[in-house]
Structure 1
């Protein structure tokens, strides 16, 4: 072979190899969800995945894997091949489990999962049964202090964000109240409606029915600004500082996914959370999508791990 032919072959070789590199994504993406179908997190996951699929050009399939406080889903994702074809919708439980249930995996979500971006977050509504003599948060605190050990607070279960919000409320105000765990947020709302408990910190999606039919009375929201759909409810921070509490949902990938792939996923996620039609549709379910990149989600996760560790330790919470 002539020298010129060899040179031409050598110059062509990198182009041939580059062309042979697989593109991403080259098959459907699996989005693992740690909750059963039909709930708010599942609703959000499916709405966001549909827009991401259009952006990425491949199906984004939601795979519901509930169980063990969402650790079944998170563990499966953390152990998946880090090629960007497996993602997981993580929630606040990632920040709670390392302290409350240290036997669950992933034990170190900051190291074992790679944040992609925020999806949504929601504060809680402090609401009381109509017979509770309190028109605002300050009056409720006073009522609790006059009746130590007699005011019952419901929650969706021990270790839920709603329960930890109650424990933080108790620590900040020094009140003596009784926690009554239910099996779900819906059950807790029904317990409030029936008068089995006197108060509850409830997600807006679960509080809506009892607030609208008058079987509960909203006092405040655990956010610094008014909640869309409930503009008349004041922030609880005016009465109890440092009680800003949110349940959040964010997209994660297994640790080790290439940076270029993560950037592509993050771009598709931002397109989904900023899609006007999707935002409008979810707003009807009291869900407000938020856009925030990997560092925002990482900061939220790290901050919540430290915060809920302190609350769980101080309250000496244990799961039986």
Structure 2
């Protein structure tokens, strides 16, 4: 037997484990996709695209946004939960991940805390509580007093099961008032209903509410976050009247459960660079959002706390969808 054949035979008899392991695929090795559950052109979509553009620069790979609307956001979140856990498919996850397990338990993922891996925070967005000018109230305490004197006579709008709808339910619960929900398709439709007096009050994003407030078509009474808004500094928070009240829409990035820790860490570090930059924070503020820094542990804690909070609101109100 030749020396060559002898060596080949010897190599062939060695256990597979003794051969050099193939180097792990570098991350990211191809473009990253952020799946967004909301329609193109809206506030959430604008924020997602701004984040994707900056994240691509920070991580050194192209990041694209794919809109998968429908199923009360479950189409997008299910797609990501079932994607290959390699960090190349991410979810622009919002507060709906904390709402759906209670409101629509048949939707997937049934347990976002187990089926998705948090990467990092993107933003928090407060809502403006504004009213039809024909309602005789200029402050939130006056509005609550009027609602108590006229139980069931005031209407509010919103898409059933959204943060806006649940925020109104929580306001009613905390203030001890009774109002009637008038479902709509959200956003523009809700604003038009409010301006026309078909509904009497609503929570809406600052971007949606500001033009109406400036034109005097609606009147701002309160802000849903615990801090006042920089662009509406004279409008108090709901919490200043009802201590502890907070209802915000948040967004964070998530990967499929099982994504390797080093990949999550790299994504979180790049995202933190984006959300911590002054230019990004300024751009987000222009569309009424507050950029948030925070890694996987902060996102996990927020999702867990919000799930408990909205479960209580949904259960007490007896909401079914």
Instruction: Give the stretch that moved more between structures: 18-27 or 99-108.
Output: 18-27
1:63 is matched with 66
**Superposition deviation, residue 206 in structure 1:** 1.6
Distance 2:262 2:157 in 1: 45
**Superposition deviation, residue 295 in structure 1:** 1.1
For normalisation by structure 1, the TM-score amounts to 0.92
1:95 is matched with 98
Q: Please state whether the residue corresponding to 1:44 is helix, strand or coil.
A: helix
Gaps of 5+ in 1: 2-13
Deviations 1:268-308 (A, max 9, x none): 11111122222222222112211111111111111111111
Q: Please, which of 274, 278, 303 is the counterpart of residue 305 of structure 2? A: 303
**Superposition deviation, residue 32 in structure 1:** 0.6
Contact 1:51/1:271 (CA < 8 Å) preserved in 2? Answer: no
**Residue 243 (structure 2) pairs with residue 241 (structure 1):** yes
**Residue 112 (structure 2) pairs with residue 112 (structure 1):** no
1:316 is matched with 318
2:185 is matched with 183
Distance 2:243 2:320 in 1: 26
Contact 2:87/2:259 (CA < 8 Å) preserved in 1? Answer: yes
Q: Which structure 2 residues correspond to residues 167-246 of structure 1 after superposition, within 5 A? A: 167-246=169-248
1:269 is matched with 271
Distance 1:120 1:179 in 2: 28
Contact 1:122/1:247 (CA < 8 Å) preserved in 2? Answer: yes
**Superposition deviation, residue 265 in structure 1:** 0.2
**Superposition deviation, residue 19 in structure 1:** 7.6
Deviations 1:103-159 (A, max 9, x none): 10000000000111110011211111111111111000000011111111122x111
Instruction: Give the stretch that moved more between structures: 29-38 or 106-115.
Output: 29-38
Distance 2:46 2:79 in 1: 21
Distance 2:260 2:29 in 1: 15
Contact 2:144/2:175 (CA < 8 Å) preserved in 1? Answer: yes
**Residue 91 (structure 2) pairs with residue 84 (structure 1):** no
Distance 1:223 1:25 in 2: 36
Distance 2:224 2:32 in 1: 35
Gaps of 5+ in 2: 4-16
Contact 2:205/2:288 (CA < 8 Å) preserved in 1? Answer: no
Report how many residues are paired.
Answer: 306
Distance 1:162 1:249 in 2: 15
**Residue 77 (structure 2) pairs with residue 74 (structure 1):** yes
Contact 2:226/2:245 (CA < 8 Å) preserved in 1? Answer: no
Q: Please, which of 24, 28, 49 is the counterpart of residue 25 of structure 1? A: 28
Q: Please, which of 121, 127, 130 is the counterpart of residue 130 of structure 2? A: 127
Q: Please state whether the residue corresponding to 2:291 is helix, strand or coil.
A: coil
Q: Please, which of 38, 43, 47 is the counterpart of residue 44 of structure 1? A: 47
Q: Please, which of 252, 256, 259 is the counterpart of residue 257 of structure 1? A: 259
Distance 1:285 1:170 in 2: 28
Q: Please state whether the residue corresponding to 1:69 is helix, strand or coil.
A: helix
Distance 1:23 1:213 in 2: 54
